[in-house]
Amino acid sequence: MTLRVLCVFLLSGWLSVSAAALPIPENGPALRIQGSNTIGADLGPALVEGLLQEQGLLKIHRETPDTANEQRIVGQTAQGQRVVIEVAAHGSSTGFTALKNASADLAASSREIKDSELLALQALGDLKSPAAEQVIAIDGLAIILNPANPLEQLNTEQLARIFAGEVKTWEELGGRGGAIHLYARDDQSGTYDTFKELVLSRRGKSLSSAAKRFESSEQLSDAVSADPQGIGFIGLPYVRQAKAVAIADGASQAMLPLNSLIATEDYPLSRRLFFYLPPDSRNPWAQALATFAQSPQGQAIVATSGFVSQTVQAMSVTPNALMPEGYQSLSRHAQRLTVNFRFAEGSASLDNKARQDLARVLDYIKRNGKTERAVTLVGFGDLKDDPARADLLSKLRAMAVRRELVRNGVVMREVRGFGALMPVATNSADEGRIKNRRVEVWVY
């Protein structure tokens, strides 16, 4: 939808600044955003500021009301009219509640919408449709310790037992320091929901009641930094003065929360950050913000806010003995793009993020002159009883991506399938198997 088309909202009580500008409401905020503290603390306001600048507004600034974790981003038209966008950051769940009771126009979430929320909001349209579910950034949950803690890596099984209160001392993990002190986000937090899903629930565990809970990411991180016996989990931009450790899941290698591993979602605790906007929304600012967030300018703001942008880049991969020989050879002669294509649950169709990434990959290929036999696709899958079936399915996934690229004028160099080799997550859980079903893009 273009900004010119959006001006039809004049008929529903909106005043237009100019023919090409977003309309300004006569009363109240232009846009109300509620949800994730991870997004709402800084990324959301920064994206709003970028949109206001794109709209040519002046004197853009943030105002902090008396309520904690809430902000107003304010701009001014050339005629002196005040434009206000409200951001309330009390946790991902609160965003979906606000959509339901019509107290927000857009929900910010640091986790995927739950089935129960999808059902409760079905009157607003399909919030899992590509237009409604917008992946705006990639984040990694960092497991943080006090900088003096000597431990360098943990696995997700250990994490589950630590945060369930079953592992009580650092000595049980080969470290030192006595009793373990747990720090966690509160129940409204998408960060907590993600940790619960990726670590605790998968192993039938619950968070220990001894954990200290925080609504603020910054306060949690600072508390761990000040406690030699502390451990916590946090979004990537909030590591601050703490120490992040490498994490392994199942048979995966231990990985630090590095940008390249988070961009491809290989890092075991990587996650997506979302905007959800009702498909039938009559607020043009909601759609405009989602569109801006996907743009190169929006993704640059994602990067400067400390998250991982979805801008496609090529990276060199160092071959090692744990890689199959064919993959080692590929890594010696080509570069891997910082994107993995993944698929909708229980489907051979690309998921919503993959649909967005397809356009980005095509743009990269064409801008860099890689349309003629310079692209190799590599498929992977989850573990099967028959390795030959795993190999076939992994190649079929790569072929599904090939079809989309060929349709857009790309002549492929090669399509390969490596089956269940090189898992990035455990194959003992549905979430891990879905993550292992992926397609990498390599360029020569």
Q: Is residue 225 part of a domain?
A: yes
Q: What is the mean pLDDT of residues 153-166?
A: 97
The answer to whether 23 and 55 have CB atoms below 8 angstroms apart is no
For residue 373, the number of C-alpha atoms closer than 13 Å in the C-beta half-sphere is 0
Most confident of 1-15, 325-339, 382-396: 325-339
Residues 215 and 240 in one domain: yes
* Co-location of 128 and 149 in the same domain: no
CATH number at residue 437: 3.30.1330.60
Nearest partner of 184 among 202, 171, 200, judged by Cα: 200
Q: Do the domain assignments include residue 117?
A: yes
Return the CATH number at 166.
Answer: 3.40.190.10
Q: What per-residue confidence (pLDDT) applies to 335? A: 98
Q: Based on the domain organization, do 298 and 354 belong to the same domain?
A: no
From 210, 221, 208, 216, select the one nearest 188 (Cα to Cα).
216
Q: Return the residue matching tokens 């898992």.
A: 423
Q: Does pLDDT of 363 surpass 90?
A: yes
Query: Collapsing DSSP states into helix, strand and coil, what is residue 281?
Result: coil
Q: Is the domain of 289 the same as that of 373?
A: no
In a 10 Å sphere around its CB, with 0-12 CB exposed, 13-18 middle and 19+ buried, how is residue 142 labelled? buried
Residues 138, 135: Cα–Cα separation, whole Å = 8
Q: Is residue 293 part of a domain?
A: yes
User: Within this chain, do residues 89 and 40 fall inside the same structural domain, yes or no?
Assistant: yes
Alpha helices, H only, 217-266: 217-225, 259-263
Q: Which of 261, 295, 325 is the last residue of a domain?
A: 261
Look at residue 387 in the predicted model and tell me its pLDDT. Answer: 87
Decide if pLDDT at 353 tops 90.
yes
* Within-domain flag for 342: yes
Average pLDDT over residues 316-333: 95
The span from the CA of 320 to the CA of 313, in Å, is 22
324 and 438 together in one domain? yes
pLDDT band of residue 62 (cuts 50, 70, 90) is: very high
Residue 280 or residue 333, greater confidence: 333
The per-residue pLDDT for 16 is 35
Express each pLDDT in 267-310 by its tens digit: 999 999 999 999 988 899 999 999 999 999 999 999 999 899 99
| 320 and 437 fall within a common domain | yes
* Residue 56 in domain: yes
Q: Does some domain include residue 438?
A: yes
Q: Is residue 380, in this structure, part of any structural domain at all? A: yes
Mean pLDDT for 431-435 is 86
Q: Say if 268 falls within a structural domain.
A: no
Helix 43-54 and helix 284-294, axial crossing angle in degrees, nearest 10 = 100
Q: Is 60 exceeded by the pLDDT of residue 396?
A: yes
User: Are 150 and 256 found together in one domain?
Assistant: yes
* Residue 237 reports pLDDT greater than 80: yes
65-82 as b/e: b if 16+ CB within 10 A: eeeeebbbbbbebeeeee
Give the pLDDT band (50/70/90) at residue 125.
Answer: very high
> Does residue 167 register a pLDDT over 90?
yes
Looking at the 3D structure of the chain, how many domains does it have?
A: 3
What is the pLDDT at residue 429? Answer: 77
Question: Which residue range(s) make up the domain with 146?
Answer: 139-261
Distance CA 57, CA 48 (A): 11
What's the pLDDT score for residue 10?
A: 31
Q: Which of 227, 261, 295 is the last residue of a domain?
A: 261
pLDDT digits 0-9 by tens, 97-107: 999 999 999 99
Other residues' Cβ atoms within 10 Å of the Cβ of residue 240: 15
Give tens-digit pLDDT for 175-197. Answer: 888 999 999 999 989 899 889 98
Query: 230 with 323, same domain?
Result: no
pLDDT band (50, 70, 90) for residue 202: confident
Main-chain phi, psi angles of 166, to 5 degrees: -80, -35
Residues 212 and 248 occupy one common structural domain: yes
Q: Let me know whether 361 and 287 are in one domain.
A: no
Judge whether residue 7 has pLDDT over 70.
no
Q: Are 105 and 165 contained in the same domain?
A: no
**Mean pLDDT over the full length of the chain:** 92
Give the pLDDT confidence of 24-48 residue by residue, as tens digits.
Answer: 998 899 999 999 999 999 999 999 9
